[in-house]
């Protein structure tokens, strides 16, 4: 009897040992669960001042090298101009639903608001010669990025257009302090204070034509984007006549964005030409 009990105990121990061995082999065969990948960043942090300011943009990413080494950079100081017979430009902007974003560049936990931008998706609006450009967004800089004979304006609005071939054309509009400008009231009444938040405002329309000066004479030159990656090949059309906003209206923008202007860049032999934009009949 004792002998039989001893045999049973030995058998139980052997079975347990075999199961433990099998479990150990299975665990070795299954790779450990991978750790979650680190959150990807939107790109290098950049700013308008300090260590990530305009003087260093070209070193922050290989894709941003034009910011430091480009020869056709924007903005510029507009001083000497040449009157030229340029390809005719025509502009007509249908009223569009208001979509505002307080744009932000987020990287390494830094949320740095750069401008107030209005996104636009309603129709072809600008023709240069035979090439059509669609308005995709317009945004604001305080003070102006371009200067005229070394002088800044209070603000500058940039209307960014893109062609079917992904070529860019930007219309710049200077803004001075003066009379109240009712055309901007829908934008000012709905400015988003939260950086990175986009607001689609129902039943509010903005007529971009009313944001432009009455005189459509312009400065034209070949330049670049004024923020990283500072891509060149951008057609610049800067209105010679400023529009006005009241001190209160400018202050409303300044409360959210200020000092978001890249310093002027060397002209490097480029010619600034002047001509007029024709309005569509």
Higher pLDDT, 215 or 244: 244
153 classed as catalytic: no
pLDDT tens, 75-113?
999 999 998 888 888 888 888 899 999 987 655 444 456
* pTM listed for this prediction: 0.81
Instruction: Tell whether 19 is covered by a domain.
Output: no
Instruction: Tell whether 132 is covered by a domain.
Output: yes
pLDDT of residue 27: 34
pLDDT of residue 196: 83
Q: Comparing 91-95, 253-257, 274-278, which segment has the lowest mean pLDDT?
A: 274-278
C-beta separation of 93 from 157 below 8 A? no
Task: Give the CATH number of the domain where residue 213 resides.
Answer: 3.10.200.10
pLDDT of residue 276: 64
For residue 153, count CB atoms less than 10 angstroms from its CB and return exposed for 0-12, middle for 13-18, buried for 19 or more.
buried
Its sign, for the CA torsion 18, 22, 23, 28, is: positive
Q: Measuring CA to CA, which residue among 124, 92, 94 is closest to residue 206?
A: 94
Q: Which of 102, 105, 114, 139 is catalytic?
A: 114
Instruction: Tell whether 240 is covered by a domain.
Output: yes
Instruction: Tell whether 166 is covered by a domain.
Output: yes
Instruction: Tell whether 40 is covered by a domain.
Output: no
Instruction: Tell whether 183 is covered by a domain.
Output: yes
Instruction: Tell whether 213 is covered by a domain.
Output: yes
Distances (CA, A) of 82 to 219, 237, 270: 9, 14, 11
Instruction: Tell whether 26 is covered by a domain.
Output: no
Total number of domains in the chain:
1
Domain that holds residue 144: 62-279
C-beta separation of 205 from 113 below 8 A? no
pLDDT tens, 188-242?
999 988 888 888 888 889 999 999 998 888 999 999 999 999 999 999 999 999 9
| pLDDT band with cut points at 50, 70 and 90 for residue 262 | very high
pLDDT at 58 over 50: yes
Distance CA 156, CA 154 (A): 7
C-beta separation of 190 from 206 below 8 A? no
């Amino acid at each position: 009897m004792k002998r039989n009990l001893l045999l049973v105990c030995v058998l139980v121990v052997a079975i347990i040992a075999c199961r433990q061995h099998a479990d150990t082999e299975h665990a070795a065969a299954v790779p450990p669960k991978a750790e979650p990948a680190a959150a990807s960043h939107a790109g290098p942090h950049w700013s308008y001042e300090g260590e990530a300011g305009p003087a260093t943009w070209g070193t922050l990413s290989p894709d941003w090298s034009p910011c430091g080494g480009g020869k056709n950079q924007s903005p510029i100081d507009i001083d000497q101009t040449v009157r030229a017979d340029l390809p005719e430009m025509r502009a007509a902007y249908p009223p569009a639903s208001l979509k505002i974003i307080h744009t932000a560049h987020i990287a390494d936990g830094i949320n740095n608001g750069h401008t107030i931008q209005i996104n636009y998706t309603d129709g072809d609006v600008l023709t240069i010669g035979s090439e059509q450009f669609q308005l995709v967004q317009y945004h604001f800089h305080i003070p102006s990025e371009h200067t005229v004979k070394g002088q800044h304006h209070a603000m500058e609005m940039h209307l960014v257009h893109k062609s079917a071939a992904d070529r860019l054309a930007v219309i710049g509009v200077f803004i001075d302090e003066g009379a109240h400008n009712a055309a901007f009231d829908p934008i000012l009444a709905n400015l988003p204070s939260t950086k990175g938040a986009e607001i689609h405002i129902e039943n509010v329309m903005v007529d971009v034509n009313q944001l432009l000066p009455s005189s459509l004479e312009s400065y034209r030159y070949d330049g670049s984007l004024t923020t990283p990656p500072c891509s060149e090949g951008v057609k610049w059309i800067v209105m010679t006549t400023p529009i006005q906003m009241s001190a209160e209206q400018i202050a409303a923008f300044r409360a959210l964005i200020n000092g978001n202007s890249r310093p002027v860049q060397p002209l490097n032999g480029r010619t600034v030409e002047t001509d007029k934009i024709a309005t569509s009949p």
